[in-house]
Structure 1
Amino acid sequence: MNEVYRPTYKVALIALVLGLLSLLLVNSAVWHKEQLWRYGERLVLELAPVDPRSLMQGDYMALDFTVARQLRQALRENGIWQSNLQGWLLVTLQSHGPASYQGYRLTNIESNMTGQQRLIPFKVRKGRVRIASNAWFFEEGQAKHFSAARFGEFRLSPEGELLLIGLLDAKLQPL
């Protein structure tokens, strides 16, 4: 009964398969985001003023968007503002400049939309409307450079997934 437990080839094989499966899942998610970055439709949203630093997390810019503030006001005026609310923000794309607020929908129904209108998913969390990302992280010491940001540049998938890819200055040039 002095037998020592030794992992068998079955345990090693299971560990190898689980490791490969984990790598496959991670790489699949990365590939999906890269495809959205490359082929997603360009969407620009105007930034609303916010605090540019966090001492606990390093340098970053907390993001808020003008359309999110307009949505928050509309939800409150219509008496449906609540935590954990989810829905779709309706915007109209502009050929030069940021998308403009057109309204909201609580379901993803694309009826009565013009060719330039898009639905963007939103969530209400902790008293704020969240659209895609609520922060842009940057290297320490770059706060002055990113303080010139006036717009967020996104890529939008046909399914409504939104990916923040950069910040733009007042002339819509990348920072």
Structure 2
Amino acid sequence: MAATCYQPPRKTVLWAFMLGLCSLLLVNFSVWHKEQLWRNGEPIILALAPKDPRSLMQGDYMALDYVVARELRQALQHDGNWQPNLQGWLLLTLQPQGPALYRGYRFSNADTDMTGQQRLLPFKVRNNRVLIASNAWFFEEGQAAHFDAARYGEFRLANDGELLLVGLLDENLQPL
């Protein structure tokens, strides 16, 4: 007596194929979108805030914090707006050379009373921390000493406010 193999119904195979194809399309679109932001986004530089050196390097990533995030936290607390679950817009002024400067915050990006060099970046408050874009930089194992010289984060800003960390810079604004 010959053993027979289970043959799933054709409909099941077709649905599995379609779901797999849709998943691949979504992933590829996301990658394409990030590449477009990397190439065409507006450059923004943010100064990194000092961290406790005992916890700065943990394995193959560097925990990041930003000077403007700390300034925002202080302003929110001073104004009585600090909440554990909050989001809004950080107002920055771009400089021709050097990091962007903190100018304030808003809870809506509909305001239009900004100068030509001011930009709004989205922020969130989660777990008692102000989060702006990425809070970590991942690198190849054994490269911690190389990235220890990081003083600035280089970002690309999309028109809709999406922010992408594209690199770290040293004290002379040179890529690491």
The answer to whether TM tops 0.5 is: yes
2:64 counterpart letter in structure 1: L
CA root-mean-square deviation: 1.3
Relative to structure 2, which stretch is displaced further, 77-86 or 4-13? 4-13
What is the Cα deviation at residue 140 of structure 1? 1.4
Match of residue 33 from structure 1: 34
For residues 92-113 of structure 1, give each alpha carbon's deviation from its aligned partner in whole angstroms, at most 9, with x where no partner exists. Answer: 0100000000000011123210
Q: What is the alpha-carbon distance in structure 2 between the residues aligned to residue 143 and residue 110 of structure 1? A: 41
Match of residue 138 from structure 1: 139
Match of residue 159 from structure 2: 158
For residues 95-134 of structure 1, give each alpha carbon's deviation from its aligned partner in whole angstroms, at most 9, with x where no partner exists. Answer: 0000000000011123210011000000001111000000
Counterpart secondary structure, 1:139 = coil
Match of residue 101 from structure 2: 100
What is the Cα deviation at residue 6 of structure 1? 3.1
Match of residue 73 from structure 2: 72
For residues 57-107 of structure 1, give each alpha carbon's deviation from its aligned partner in whole angstroms, at most 9, with x where no partner exists. Answer: x32111000000000000000011011100000000100000000000011
Q: What is the alpha-carbon distance in structure 1 between the residues aligned to residue 12 and residue 163 of structure 2? A: 41
Structure 2 residue ranges without an equivalent (≥5): none
Q: What is the alpha-carbon distance in structure 2 between the residues aligned to residue 126 and residue 11 of structure 1? A: 43
Match of residue 124 from structure 1: 125
Q: What is the alpha-carbon distance in structure 2 between the residues aligned to residue 6 and residue 149 of structure 1? A: 57
Counterpart secondary structure, 2:80 = coil
Match of residue 53 from structure 1: 57
For residues 31-62 of structure 1, give each alpha carbon's deviation from its aligned partner in whole angstroms, at most 9, with x where no partner exists. Answer: 100000000000000000123222xxx32111
2:83 counterpart letter in structure 1: Q
Counterpart secondary structure, 1:90 = strand
Q: Residue 52 of structure 1 contacts residue 143 of structure 1 at CA under 8 Å; is this kept in 2?
A: no
Counterpart secondary structure, 2:48 = strand
Structure 1 residue ranges without an equivalent (≥5): none
Q: What is the alpha-carbon distance in structure 1 between the residues aligned to residue 28 and residue 86 of structure 2? A: 31
